[in-house]
Amino acid sequence: MGIFSNWRRKRILRRARIPQPVWDRAVANLPLLAGLTQEELQRLRDLATLFLHEKSYEPVQGLELNEAMKIDLAAQAALPILNLGFDWYDGWTSVVLYPDEYATRHEWVDENGLAHSRREIRAGEAWERGPVVWSWADIAASGACEDGYNTVIHELAHKLDSSSGHINGCPALHAGMRVRDWRAAFEPAYEDLCRRADAGEHTAIDPYATEAPEEFFAVTSEYFFELPHLLKQLYPAVYEQMRLFYRQDPAMRLMGRLV
């Protein structure tokens, strides 16, 4: 059983794989991909090719999208599923791209039945079974440096999280992994970060992670790929569960690099 099990995907790869020189340029511009072996980079190239072909890029508000930008996004998007396979991104096709952060209206009904509405500025969002929305400025900033901020990984972590049927901070786990172990790793870490943020401490992890368990998973996924040594040092059990889930060990491949 190969990662690309269906013939249609094989055909895309045969006919339309991202050309090597174009791919090499994209990789050179993404420090996020440092430390990957040639074999891993080729697998990433295949996944990025599928992302380009299966997802529908929909620029809005006058964003002009060129081929290099499309590949930049596809290369970053492929990283979380490097050892999972493209099937993990099945079930949605639209990628809506704004030039910059965008305003959206968040509406909800509280437990008393009262409707509320609030204007929010966003860098990205992932709809359950729906599109992923991004600000291009934030995608560009995400790939350019490793600072623990990566909106591409963040929103796609929400997509992976939804594999369990709910976006709740616990994706569908692989055989051999246990929800009990996941909770035992994530819950105390989440509570620790909430406690520190509530106490007004400066936290090493972006306090946005304290919004909800699903945000904690999405934000710590950003750190897992961008600043793995930091995450491993702060919350080793979380790092270990993510290593098992993503089937990658970024701290190992970036060994020797200072955080």
Interface positions with Zn ion (CB under 5 A): 215, 218
Q: Which of 134, 153, 175 is nearest to 231 (CA)?
A: 153
Residue whose CB is less far from Zn ion, 18 or 218:
218
Residue whose CB is less far from Zn ion, 138 or 215:
215
Residue whose CB is less far from Zn ion, 150 or 248:
150
Residue whose CB is less far from Zn ion, 23 or 134:
134
CB-based closest residue to Zn ion: 218
Residue at 90: amino acid letter: D
Structural contact between residues 196 and 203, judged by C-beta atoms closer than 8 angstroms:
yes
Structural contact between residues 220 and 235, judged by C-beta atoms closer than 8 angstroms:
yes
Question: Smallest distance, Å, CB 212 to Zn ion?
Answer: 8
Q: Which of 70, 79, 85 is nearest to 25 (CA)?
A: 70
Question: Smallest distance, Å, CB 105 to Zn ion?
Answer: 17
Structural tokens at position 204? 């090493």
Question: Smallest distance, Å, CB 158 to Zn ion?
Answer: 6
Question: Smallest distance, Å, CB 214 to Zn ion?
Answer: 7
Structural tokens at position 61? 């508000």
Residue whose CB is less far from Zn ion, 103 or 199:
103
Structural contact between residues 129 and 165, judged by C-beta atoms closer than 8 angstroms:
no
Question: Smallest distance, Å, CB 62 to Zn ion?
Answer: 26
Q: Is 129 left (phi over 0), alpha (psi -120 to 50) or beta?
A: left
